[in-house]
């Protein structure tokens, strides 16, 4: 039995058989197969090599036609290597004698070959090292592409184990087949994690080298509350976890009762609890959990799940469906927040060079302002939807007032078009912004004069304030919403919102952390938008406290200078209010 600690993302516990998805990674773990699977691995190797040779021949011919004979020779050299019996027979032999996967045999033998080239005296040969590694990747892509296909053809439920999962992949998982997942990479608030949480299955990310320890078919436990993954559990552990699963099931049932109750503190202050969604169908969960509407609709997922760019009509239909499902409850549509870790498939943008620093690059509103037709298409759909129900529009990643003004000019231009075309829209639609960049938080008072609402995005605000990549497991211990610098910014935004009468809410994952609920109310927030499945838990805390206690807590926490002190204090307080609840997953 192996116990591996990762970062808890979505609560719940699952016990199941591991399905190991080998991504096109730089590192392929050592993995063995049974004698009965050796022939299958050999056949997979043959197929992968044949497919790679076919692809290389196509690339060679295209290069010869478009670029001349010299570049075409590079591909011919690759083809030659894949026909070289000393290399390929060796790989095949490794599968037979060492009983390793085709992936491992390929990557290990290619790595050794690359080392031999690297050690040569002749510069021309040394330069071949990169070719060898390139070829390695190509053959692995073929092998791993096949493993992706297997994921879409599952017949039995599995627990997915992968090096990393992209937001788009997470969005396309079939939750009836994938009952939980765990990854080597990723952070608590990386977008893949957010989508995974929306699937409502237990998820643990950032386990570093989990894929090295798991074999396909291994029994595995994923505990999404504590962030523990147990590979090949012993009987005692299994029994204990099976009991936990039953207990969690009954707590969930009890929490359902909170869905029908109001989110009101003991002394009568009503707190609005909205849901964050990526797809319209999640509105069902928002409503079933007693949510007051949608405070954040991450519309970029329309892009992430499709190979083609959504049309105005695609956008409109998604918004219309959401409005109809909400039956008069509000819908805040965030305009496209692409870039950073949300990379799109649509061919239009694929030719762009990858950015060196995507989180500081062309993302959020910046991407839209440089891709006006795409931005306008979405704004048109939002305006069309604005007459169907209470809709608000929100711009992401605003970092200067200039950006906000530019975005508003584009919106006004689209409104003008509507007038000219005689189309119906709500000219008084509420326009707001995400406060998720420190510059925006610091300038909240001046931004407040130009918007009707703020929504604090702590996921990004934490990463940009602390210079900690939200999706990087290696620095996950530094990523904390309890950091006093982050809390100071939150307080400042709430104060500015109050002074200028600008509705202020919070929609980062922190809003769904029960350890933070009292603090958020204590600093003055009255609207929280959170992952729908957390609404009952947060409601339960709200109904157990009064505002004075929350304000006292906020004052106390405000005097601390360490994130640890803050976190301990918040957890103690929740423990005190609800002894069976505190100490859960937390961005802290």
Q: Which residues bind ligand PEP (CB under 6 A)?
A: 194, 296, 298, 337, 436, 457-460, 507-508
Q: How far is the CB of 381 from Mg ion (least distance, A)?
A: 21
Say which entry of ligand PEP, Mg ion, none residue 571 contacts (CB below 5 to 8 A, set by partner kind): none
Q: Which of 207, 363, 368, 507 is catalytic?
A: 507
Count interface residues toward Mg ion (CB under 5 A). 3
Strands laid side by side in the 203-205 sheet: 2-5, 228-231, 219-223, 13-21, 158-162, 178-183, 203-205, 7-10
Nearer to ligand PEP, 110 or 464 (CB): 464
Nearer to ligand PEP, 18 or 431 (CB): 431
Q: Which of 78, 163, 191, 315 is catalytic?
A: 191
Say which entry of ligand PEP, Mg ion, none residue 508 contacts (CB below 5 to 8 A, set by partner kind): ligand PEP
Q: How far is the CB of 298 from ligand PEP (least distance, A)?
A: 5
Say which entry of Mg ion, ligand PEP, none residue 524 contacts (CB below 5 to 8 A, set by partner kind): none
Say which entry of ligand PEP, Mg ion, none residue 507 contacts (CB below 5 to 8 A, set by partner kind): ligand PEP
Whole-angstrom CA distances from 134 to 26, 75, 78 are 11, 11, 9
Rounded to an integer, what distance in angstroms lies between the CA atom of residue 181 and that of residue 246?
A: 20
Q: How far is the CB of 73 from ligand PEP (least distance, A)?
A: 46
Say which entry of Mg ion, ligand PEP, none residue 60 contacts (CB below 5 to 8 A, set by partner kind): none
Task: Supply the Cα-derived Rg of the chain in whole angstroms.
Answer: 26
207 is catalytic: no
Q: Which residue is nearest to Mg ion (CB)?
A: 460
Backbone angles phi and psi of 434, in degrees to 5: -80, 140
Nearer to ligand PEP, 107 or 480 (CB): 480
Rounded to an integer, what distance in angstroms lies between the CA atom of residue 465 and that of residue 468?
A: 8
In the chain, what are the helix, strand and coil shares in percent, each to the nearest 5? 55, 15, 30
Nearer to ligand PEP, 41 or 460 (CB): 460
78 is catalytic: no
Q: Which residue is nearest to ligand PEP (CB)?
A: 457
Q: How far is the CB of 460 from ligand PEP (least distance, A)?
A: 3
Listed in sequence order, the residues at least 6 apart from 243 whose beta carbon sits closer than 8 Å to its beta carbon are none
Say which entry of ligand PEP, Mg ion, none residue 513 contacts (CB below 5 to 8 A, set by partner kind): none
Q: How far is the CB of 414 from Mg ion (least distance, A)?
A: 23
Rounded to an integer, what distance in angstroms lies between the CA atom of residue 588 and that of residue 585?
A: 8
Give the max Cα distance, the chain. 80
SS3 184: coil
Question: 221, 239 in Cβ contact below 8 A?
Answer: no
Nearer to ligand PEP, 363 or 383 (CB): 363
Nearer to ligand PEP, 41 or 278 (CB): 278
Q: With both helix axes pointing from N to C terminus, report the angle between 401-421 and 372-385 in degrees, rounded to the nearest 10.
A: 60
> What one-character-per-residue DSSP string does 338-353 give?
-BTTB----HHHHTSP
Whole-angstrom CA distances from 380 to 48, 315, 323 are 46, 9, 16
Rounded to an integer, what distance in angstroms lies between the CA atom of residue 17 and that of residue 214?
A: 10
- Under the criterion CB under 5 A, does residue 457 sit at the interface with Mg ion? yes
Q: How far is the CB of 279 from ligand PEP (least distance, A)?
A: 14
The residue within the footprint of Mg ion, chosen from 22, 136, 218, 460 (CB under 5 A), is 460
Say which entry of ligand PEP, Mg ion, none residue 458 contacts (CB below 5 to 8 A, set by partner kind): ligand PEP
End-to-end, the C-alpha distance of the chain in Å comes to: 29
The first and second tokens of residue 411, run together, are 């919106």
- Site for Mg ion, residues 426 to 455, rule: CB under 5 A: 436
Nearer to ligand PEP, 436 or 537 (CB): 436
Q: Which residues pair with 4 in a beta bridge?
A: 229
The first and second tokens of residue 99, run together, are 């009983």
Residues that bind Mg ion (CB under 5 A): 436, 457, 460
Catalytic residue numbers read 191, 507
């Amino acid at each position: 039995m192996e116990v591996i600690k990762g970062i808890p993302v979505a609560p719940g516990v699952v016990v199941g058989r591991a399905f190991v998805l080998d991504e096109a990674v730089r590192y392929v773990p050592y993995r063995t197969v049974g004698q009965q699977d050796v022939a299958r691995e050999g056949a997979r190797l043959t197929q992968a090599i044949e497919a790679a040779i076919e692809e290389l021949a196509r690339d060679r011919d295209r290069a010869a036609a478009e670029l001349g004979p010299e570049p075409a020779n590079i591909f011919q050299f690759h083809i030659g290597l894949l026909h070289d019996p000393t290399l390929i027979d060796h790989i095949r032999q490794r599968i037979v004698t060492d009983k390793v996967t085709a992936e491992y045999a390929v990557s290990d033998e290619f790595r050794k070959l690359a080392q031999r080239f690297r050690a040569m005296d002749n510069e021309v040969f040394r330069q071949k090292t990169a070719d060898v590694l390139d070829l390695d990747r190509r053959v692995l892509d073929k092998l791993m592409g096949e493993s992706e296909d297997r994921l879409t053809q599952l017949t039995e439920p599995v627990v997915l184990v992968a090096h990393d999962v992209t937001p788009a992949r997470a969005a396309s998982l079939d939750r009836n087949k994938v009952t939980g997942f765990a990854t080597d990479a990723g952070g608590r608030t990386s977008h893949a994690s957010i989508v995974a949480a929306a699937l409502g299955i237990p998820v643990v990310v950032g386990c570093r080298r989990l894929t090295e320890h798991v074999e396909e078919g291994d029994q595995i436990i994923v505990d999404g509350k504590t962030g523990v993954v147990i590979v090949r559990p012993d009987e005692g552990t299994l029994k204990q976890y099976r009991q936990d699963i039953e207990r969690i099931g009954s707590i969930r049932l009890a929490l359902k009762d909170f869905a029908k109750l109001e989110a009101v503190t003991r002394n009568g202050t009503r707190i609005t609890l909205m849901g964050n969604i990526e797809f319209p169908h999640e509105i069902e969960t928002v409503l079933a959990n007693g949510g007051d509407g949608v405070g954040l609709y991450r519309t970029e997922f329309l892009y992430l799940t499709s190979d083609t760019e959504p049309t105005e009509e695609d956008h409109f239909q998604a918004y219309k469906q959401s409005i109809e499902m909400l039956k008069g409850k509000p819908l805040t549509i965030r305009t496209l927040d692409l870039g950073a870790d949300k990379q799109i498939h649509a061919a239009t943008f694929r030719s762009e060079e990858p950015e060196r620093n995507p989180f500081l690059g062309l993302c959020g509103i910046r991407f839209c302002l440089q891709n006006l037709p795409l931005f306008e298409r979405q704004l048109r759909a939002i305006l069309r939807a604005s007459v169907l129900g209470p809709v608000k529009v929100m711009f992401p990643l605003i970092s200067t007032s200039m950006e906000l003004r530019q975005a508003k000019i584009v919106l006004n231009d689209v409104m003008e078009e509507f007038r000219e075309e005689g189309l119906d829209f709500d000219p008084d639609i509420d326009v707001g912004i995400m406060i998720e960049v420190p510059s925006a938080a610091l300038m909240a008072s001046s931004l407040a004069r130009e918007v009707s609402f703020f929504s604090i995005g702590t996921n990004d605000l934490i990463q940009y304030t602390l210079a900690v990549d939200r999706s990087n497991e290696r620095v996950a211990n530094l990523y904390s919403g309890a950091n006093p610098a982050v809390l100071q910014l939150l307080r400042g935004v709430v104060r500015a919102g109050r002074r200028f009468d600008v509705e202020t809410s919070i929609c980062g994952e922190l809003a769904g952390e029960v350890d933070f609920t009292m603090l958020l109310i204590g600093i003055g927030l009255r609207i929280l938008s959170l992952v729908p499945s957390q609404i009952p838990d947060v409601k339960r805390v709200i109904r157990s406290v009064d505002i004075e206690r929350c304000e006292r807590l906020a004052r106390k926490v405000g005097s601390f200078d360490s994130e640890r002190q803050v976190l301990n204090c918040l957890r103690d307080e929740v423990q005190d209010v609800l002894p069976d609840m505190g100490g859960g997953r937390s961005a802290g």
